[in-house]
Structure 1
């Protein structure tokens, strides 16, 4: 963990792993206060997961529209440059943004053969599995963000034929800069189309993995407070 730089005076791994684990222990030992404290947070997070699922569904519709656009371009003998790359970006965004919402709907594969042996053993095995999954997902999210930042630093560009307008890059750059720099960003923005920087299609990956990590920590605290899993698969008839 040598590259886990300090954040607000503490190493980043303390914020990402130690404090959430302490919160989980608090939920285990003090169920009623934890429930009163976290219930409003749970409601907000449920809306965020649902919103991410809606955005993922929109990207899925985008894939359909791109396929239709490719068909029309072939019929009309018009070149649709970058359509394959755009479809790949939309597919990646669909997959990553839907992960947290899929978890809340029980769509992820969970091996429950040992969880059904008895209630006591099932609770502790489920809690242990959720904690390990939360640690793993947090690692994944951290390095997904690091990959995004590295692509930005290297100014890595796509090797395909896809282009994006400069104003779109300026829009997303605003979130990574202080408001005092926004005027300068837009003053330097042109009207040209440029090769897609790799960090742009990587953004949904970073956002999706962060949401997944938050969702697993979230559902771990719910499990420890309520003593039953909140991840229930939808019945398919």
Structure 2
């Protein structure tokens, strides 16, 4: 049982890091698209759809980064309140918050999935020059949301069974240069 838990834990940690790396690669893709568009303008050509592709990459970067940011402690939390209450109340607040967040993101992922499905079913395409099938960039929203759902459920289960979440501290070390 402990071995299975270790395998699942390793996979989940890898999944969160991989989604963060994918988000970073999307940001690099945005940079490359902007540079390609600038070069195209300098040589008197155009790069049709570059702003749209950059927009798709920005949305992908955002959704793919959510789970990694959550576990890294980059999401806004009401730590002042949580640190001011007794441990038992803190535990109940943590459970309540993670349960609401898990339910909310599950609701989002469910409807986002159907949004993508109907875009695919009706063969919706971008109205711009690129005419991209919209289900392709929209799918990343479902994938990133699904990974965030897993991260929230993971933290909820950690609070329920271990008494504490898995969110790291995002406190910057102030001892730099001393």
Q: TM-score, normalised by structure 1?
A: 0.69
Q: CA distance change for structure 1 residues 71 and 89 in 2, over 3 Å: closer, same or farther?
A: same
Deviation sequence 1:209-233 (CA, Å, 0-9, x none): 1111111001111122221221122
Q: Which residues of 2 match residues 4-153 of structure 1 at below 5 A?
A: 38-116=5-83, 117-153=85-121
Helix, strand or coil: the match of 2:79? coil
Q: CA distance change for structure 1 residues 37 and 227 in 2, over 3 Å: closer, same or farther?
A: farther
Largest Rg, 1 or 2: 1
Q: CA distance change for structure 1 residues 220 and 37 in 2, over 3 Å: closer, same or farther?
A: farther
| 1:199 counterpart (135, 139, 155) | 135
Name the residue aligned to 1:155: 123
More strand, by proportion: 1
Name the residue aligned to 1:233: 169
**How many residues align structurally?**
172
Take 2:10 and 2:161, find their aligned partners in 1: how far apart are those partners? 15
Deviation sequence 1:149-179 (CA, Å, 0-9, x none): 01011111110111xxxxxxxxxxxxxxxxx
Take 2:103 and 2:58, find their aligned partners in 1: how far apart are those partners? 26
Q: CA distance change for structure 1 residues 36 and 220 in 2, over 3 Å: closer, same or farther?
A: farther
Name the residue aligned to 2:152: 216
Point out where structure 1 has 5 or more consecutive residues left out of the alignment: 1-32, 163-194
Q: TM-score, normalised by structure 2?
A: 0.91
Point out where structure 2 has 5 or more consecutive residues left out of the alignment: none
Helix, strand or coil: the match of 1:115? helix
RMSD of aligned Cα (Å)? 1.5
Name the residue aligned to 1:184: none
Take 2:112 and 2:10, find their aligned partners in 1: how far apart are those partners? 26
Deviation sequence 1:196-216 (CA, Å, 0-9, x none): 111011011010011111110
Q: CA deviation at 1:36?
A: 6.9
Q: CA deviation at 1:37?
A: 5.6
Q: CA deviation at 1:91?
A: 0.4
Helix, strand or coil: the match of 1:143? helix
